[in-house]
Structure 1
Amino acid sequence: MKYGFVLLALIIIGYIVYKAMRPKNIKSIDGDTAKALYNSGATIVDVRTQSEYKSGHIPGSINIPVGSPIPDPKLPGKKDAPIIVYCRSGSRALAFEKALLKEGYSNVYHLGSISKWKGDLK
C-alpha cells in the first residue's frame, strides 16, 4: 500500500512537470480535429524515420524526421500556416514542435501519436 501511494505521487508529479515544460503555444488536438484542419489546408508532418514513414503514414503527410534542419523546403512558406505534427508516441513530435516555434512558426498543432488519427493510413 505504501509503495502504491509513492508510485501515484510520482506519476502526478511527472504529469505536472510535463505540463509545465510544454510550450503554451502548441495546441494539442485529437484525430477528428486534425482531419478537419487538414481538410482546411493544414500541413501534416510525420517526424518519424523514413522507414517508419514508409511502413504506414497519414495520407497527405510529409516526412521530415526529427533532427532535420528547419526551415525545411517541404514546410509552408508562411510561418503562420497551420502545421500538425505527429510521430509514434508524441515525444519526437513535441521536440519538433519546439524547434518550429524557435524558428518563428506560430500555428503549431500537436496530434502526438499516429494512433490518434481517425482514418486509414497509407
Structure 2
Amino acid sequence: MDITPKQLKEKLDRGDDFVLIDVREPNEHEAFNVGGQLIPVNTIPARISDLEDKKDAEIVVYCRSGARSGMAQRFMQGNGFTNVRNLTGGMLAWQDEFEG
C-alpha cells in the first residue's frame, strides 16, 4: 500500500507513531529530507536485521521519485514486514505539493 505526500504530512503533523525511512543517498538526504532515518536502498539487505523489531509496525519509505523506495518496500515485504508504505512520487511530489 502506498501513501501520498498529503497523507504523510498529516501523519507527521499529528505525531503518529510510525517508522520513516529515507532510502536515498546521504547527499540527497542532506540536501532535503522530511526527517526519515537514512538507510540507502543498497544497504537495506545488510541492515534489515536492525529493523527486525519493526516487522509489524507501520513503515513509510521514501526516495526521490518513488522507484528506489518501491524496491525497498518489496524487499522488506519479502522479508516479513507487514505494513510497509511507499511515498507516491517521492520527494519530488512532496516538494511539488508543499514547496512549490
State if a TM-score over 0.5 links the two structures: yes
Residue number among 96, 105, 108 corresponding to 2:81 in the alignment: 105
Residue 40 of structure 1 corresponds to which residue in structure 2?
A: 16
**Structure 1 counterpart SS, 2:62:** strand
- Structure 2: gaps spanning 5 or more residues: none
Partners of 1:104 and 1:53 in 2: CA distance: 27
Partners of 1:44 and 1:76 in 2: CA distance: 15
Output the aligned Cα RMSD.
2.0
Please identify which structure carries the higher helix content. 2
TM-score (norm. length: structure 2): 0.79
Partners of 1:109 and 1:92 in 2: CA distance: 13
Over alpha carbons, which structure has the higher Rg? 1
Residue number among 81, 92, 95 corresponding to 1:115 in the alignment: 92
Matches within 5 A, 1:61-80: 61-68=36-43, 69-73=46-50, 75=51, 77-80=53-56
Match of 2:40, as an amino acid?
Answer: P
* Offset, 1:41: 0.9
TM-score (norm. length: structure 1): 0.66
- Give the ranges of 4+ consecutive aligned residues of structure 1 lying more than 4 Å apart after TM superposition: none
* 8 A contact 1:84–1:109 mirrored in 2: yes
Q: Which has the higher contact order (CA 8 A, sep 6+)?
A: 2
Identity among equivalent positions (%) equals 29
Partners of 2:53 and 2:11 in 1: CA distance: 18
Q: How many residues align?
A: 92
Match of 1:63, as an amino acid?
Answer: L
